[in-house]
Structure 1
Amino acid sequence: MDEEYDVIVLGTGLKECILSGLLSVNGLKVLHMDRNDYYGGESTSLNLNQLWKRFRGDDKPPENMGSSREYNVDMIPKFMMANGALVRVLIHTNVTKYLNFKAVDGSFVYNKGKIHKVPATDVEALKSPLMGLFEKRRARKFFIYVQDYEESDPKSHEGLDLYKVTARDVISKYGLDDNTVDFIGHALALHLDDNYLDEPAMDFVERMKLYAESLARFQGGSPYIYPLYGLGELPQAFARLSAVYGGTYMLNKPDCKVEFDESGKAIGVTSEGETAKCKKIVCDPSYLPDKVQKVGKVARAICIMSHPIPNTSDSHSVQVILPQKQLGRKSDMYLFCCSYTHNVAPKDKYIAFVTTEAETDQPEVELKPGLDLLGPVDETFFDVYDRYEPNNNHEDDNCYISTSYDATTHFETTVKNVLALYSNITGKDLDLSVDLSSASAAAAEE
């Protein structure tokens, strides 16, 4: 292990595996280590016995739950936007050849106590029960504006400079009411809070376009796709990619200790009495706890059910977003459901998650609005984990630390973090201008 590497990556969580793959493809010499004897870190997938052991100790799962190995329960469940940055990364690196994807059945939003399909186009706006007749017409005009907007075509701008006017300005031009703004901002543009309303409108419009383009990609009921057998396949696929490009992997390496020189710069990692030298360290927050700060915590319930979530058109896989205002909270709540159709559970079993940024110390009470939408549940496991962000300066210490996974059940924030880290490590942006038509063939395993 006494070689020198460009980068040592610690932890095989999804972000770290994507980065080790991308950096290897970029020609860097990478050593990837993990204290665990499995891939995935915090974002691992568990079979039924592992799930029980983690949350119920020595208890054994009941027989009627089916075979343990037919379960692949993601600890950080997230869907991918079909036209989004993660799919572009998968195609850019050709990792798609190691994975099979299937479109997600439904994308819904909670409004005034009910679940509704998220309207994403002018046609869907006219059909949606979320709005009254006059509001539908206003929403339709707004959706047409967003669909037709092209940055390179001033005729499509309708006199608005989206880099200067705010999202609030654009919305008020179309006279949309607060209720409509709530589902567009949170369930369609996927903003985490309402701060976007007072920021330049370009990001808001681009997010809406991404949703609509992703929806159109597979002609499905949602803009999302998800790998067969769950997300546990992703870290391993990127690990394979890294190995193809010369990356070295070492699992089950206890006490990975980052070594620093007298000026405070990282120079290597010691494990089991051996030190590997390097120029840069990439890791999750657990490997350098003195260089991160706690910024919040996520509460979630993991539920095993024998039916789809009610009022979602019997969708076998679905995301439901509960915007903060609908619940009188500071943060949105997310429902995620997957089933045997994505090979994550035995026949006729469904795995549902209810997740939110924790605002109290009582996850059972806090998650109740989401849990109430699930109907009867066979088993429920509650979990709370802390969220960390780095507070170091990577230019001073050569340490590049990922942020913890947030409560969202889609990948947009995760990929943003990965791409920012890639740029900081390599000094250049990743070119994601790939032809997405090849993704359709790779991903649409209908």
Structure 2
Amino acid sequence: MHDLKYIRENPADFDAALARRGAGPIAAEILALDEENRGIATELQQGQARRNEASKAIGKAKAQGDEKTAQTLLAEVAALKTDLPALEEQEREVSAKLQVVLAALPNVPMDDVPVGEDEDGNVELERWGTPRSFDFAPKEHSDIGPALGLEFETAAKMSGARFTFLRGQMARLQRALAQFMLNHQTGENGYTECAPPLLVRDEAVFGTGQLPKFAEDLFQTTDGRWLIPTAEVSITNSVREEILSEADLPIRLTALTPCFRSEAGSAGRDTKGYIRQHQFEKIELVAIARPEESDAEHERMTAAAESILQALELPYRKMLLCTGDMGATARKTFDLEVWLPGQDSYREISSISNCGEYQARRMNTRFRPEGETKGTQFVHTLNGSGLAVGRTLVAVLENYQQQDGSVTIPTVLKPYMGGIEKLEPAT
């Protein structure tokens, strides 16, 4: 959500910022609705004040025996009682229209975000690690996995496309990855572990920006709740409608949860394999920070995600997303792309975004600066993957594959694997 005061004072700058995301000018429409809404509100307040004033005057007129004045005032109050509900309804309608327009708009990008239409406009910032040299042609995970317990057909029989059944040593490896990541983010990077709900109400999904524009990307239950597409929804909303103490900031939270996405806009993309699923596990990182600290917190969160890839010795690159490839709630996003030798390419494994006060305004989450008793400011929210577990599993399979079809276990995962040194193909 956006600051109406800022739009009133800087309409041209607001339109220019949204234009960098490919959006047309909207400030004039917003200001027209805002002016109409404030005009109705003023008329309503004046009417209510006059009704109260006239009501008091009725008793005074009667006490003085001025029946004619009393009757005139009674008629005026009766008319106001008829007119004011219509004004109240009009105010609700115009205010709702204004909120719909504002709620549909994306966040404005930071000045250093490159302008671009799609992923081709992203900028590579740095690389870590050297891709392994194979003395055989490396395979994709979808070719390696089935013999090791990554079963696509088993899941398809019960759930359809974009689901996967993990069995035996493969299921153990996914659990090991998830536990290692969670332990690392809590023990090494200072995030507090959470176990949030997987089903949330409309206002929670609105607060983090998935509603109303991206409803088709979500799954909804028969009672109207939503399955979370990411734990960002649950743990960011843990501070909704709160006034936080400045001394408590930053708040750093993490959770391992299943995530559910309809993938409505990804027809034909990554239909083969374990990369783009309707159900997957992810370690989510969320930070609630003071505005002046959010840029540094963004770098810190990105480093926390990078530390997992470095511990697993998986080569990756860090990308700065352009305006056309960023999520709607973000004002700046870094992507981490892991090297997949089977695909001979880097693929996204984590997006880390600074959302500024965009989500905080939707959730009405503020903090009170130290030493102040009344004034509050909106917090800044940040979120990222630390990491997507399934995509990390894919990266391990492809980077640690052997010519005989086995997969060596990364050193940091061995304590979680119960003595298993490598995944062996089923005989």
Normalised by the length of structure 1, the TM-score is 0.23
Larger gyration radius, structure 1 or structure 2: 2
Normalised by the length of structure 2, the TM-score is 0.23
Larger helix proportion of the pair: 2
